[in-house]
Amino acid sequence: MTRPDGDVPQPEAIRIEGLHKSFGQLEVLKGVSLTACEGDVVAVIGGSGSGKSTMLRCINFLETPSAGKIVIGNETVAMRPDGSPADRKQIERLRQSLGMVFQQFNLWSHRTILENLIEVPVHVLGVPRAEAVARAERLLARVGLSAKADTYPAFLSGGQQQRAAIARALCMEPRAMLFDEPTSALDPELVGEVLAVIRDLAAEGRTMILVTHEMKFAREVASHVVFLHNGLIEEEGPPEQLFGAPRSERLQQFLKSVA
C-alpha cells in the first residue's frame, strides 16, 4: 500500500532496542530491536510462542521487560536496571498514548458500547462528557456501529465487538495502535469487516504495529514486516521481500505452514 507520506522520512513513533524478557527461567525475548516511524504499519509474524504478544505487551508496559530500551515518540521509558519502570506516572501517560486491541476484544460486558468508549476519556482523562460522547459517536460511525451505541457487547457479533474495541482504542486519540491478532478469535466470515477497519486506518496514515496470522493482509497493508522466531527477529524487510523472496529457511518454512 502506498503511504500518504511518500518517501519523506518521518519521525520515530515507537522504538525498541535490545528488548529482553524472561519469565523465570524461560527467556522469551532475546534482544529484539524495532522501529516504527509515524505512519508505518509494521506487521509482526511468527509461529505460536515466538514472543509476538510478549513484545507487544512490553511496548505497552503490560509486561515489564527484563532489559532493553523503549522509546515512545521522543521519550525514553525510564527503567531501573532490572527493567522495571522507574516512573509509574510516565508509564500511565505513555500507555494511554498507545491504543491496544487484543484478540479477545476485552470490552466491559456490563456497559453499553457507548459507555465502553467514553469510560476512560471521561473518568480517567477528564474529557468533558459531551465531548467524549461526540467523539465516540463519530468513531462508532466510522466503524459502522452507530446503531449499536446503546447495546451491550453480548448482543454483538465477534466482528462487531472487535470493531467496537478498535473504536474504543481510537477514542484515546492514540499516537499509535497496537493490534495483537485482532481477527484470530473471529469466525472466518467476520474477519473481513475487521480487516476493512484496519485497512482504513492504515490508509489514513496511522502508525501501527500489527501482530497477525493474516499473511495476505499483512502483505497488503504493511510498510515493514518482521518475522519473529524464538524470541529473535529472524528476518525483516518490505512485504514484497519477506513474502515474495524470503531468505531464511525458517521463514520459508513458516510461510509454507500458514499457506
Among 23, 93, 247, 258, binds ligand ADP (CB under 6 A): 23
Cell numbers for 186: 473471529
Closest distance of CB 46 from ligand ADP, Å: 6
> How far is Cα of residue 122 from the mean position of the Cα atoms in its chain?
23
Cell numbers for 167: 473504536
- Residue 192 interface partner, choices ligand ADP, Mg ion, none, CB cut-off 5-8 Å depending on type: none
Q: How far is CA 42 from CA 32, 88, 211, in A?
A: 14, 27, 8
- Residue 155 interface partner, choices ligand ADP, Mg ion, none, CB cut-off 5-8 Å depending on type: none
- Assess 50 for contact with Mg ion (CB under 5 A): no
Q: How far is CA 168 from CA 96, 110, 117, 253, in A?
A: 12, 15, 5, 37
Site for ligand ADP in 31-50 (CB under 6 A): 46, 48-50
- Residue 128 interface partner, choices ligand ADP, Mg ion, none, CB cut-off 5-8 Å depending on type: none
Q: Which stretch binds Mg ion (CB under 5 A): 49-57, 151-159, 164-172, 235-243?
A: 49-57
- Assess 183 for contact with ligand ADP (CB under 6 A): no
Q: What is the largest CA-CA distance in the chain?
A: 55
- Assess 53 for contact with ligand ADP (CB under 6 A): yes
- Phi/psi class of residue 160: alpha, beta or left (left: φ > 0; alpha: ψ in -120 to 50)? alpha
Is residue 168 within 8 A of residue 107, CB to CB? The reply is: yes
Site for ligand ADP in 55-74 (CB under 6 A): none
- Assess 258 for contact with ligand ADP (CB under 6 A): no
- Assess 257 for contact with ligand ADP (CB under 6 A): no
Is the alpha carbon torsion for 118, 134, 4, 76 positive or negative?
A: negative
- Residue 108 interface partner, choices ligand ADP, Mg ion, none, CB cut-off 5-8 Å depending on type: none
By CB neighbour count within 10 A (0-12 exposed, 13-18 middle, 19+ buried), where does 29 fall?
Answer: buried
Identify the residue whose cell numbers are 451491550.
Answer: 152
Letters for 52-81 (x = contact with Mg ion by CB under 5 A, - = none) are xx----------------------------
Which residue type, as a one-letter code, is found at position 5?
D
Q: How far is CA 187 from CA 130, 143, 159, 193, 214, in A?
A: 35, 18, 8, 11, 13
Letters for 6-45 (x = contact with Mg ion by CB under 5 A, - = none) are ----------------------------------------
Closest distance of CB 22 from Mg ion, Å: 17
Query: Considering beta carbons, is residue 47 or 158 the nearer one to ligand ADP?
Result: 47
Judged by the rule CB under 6 A, the positions of this chain that interact with ligand ADP are 23, 26, 28, 46, 48-54
Q: Which residues bind Mg ion (CB under 5 A)?
A: 52-53
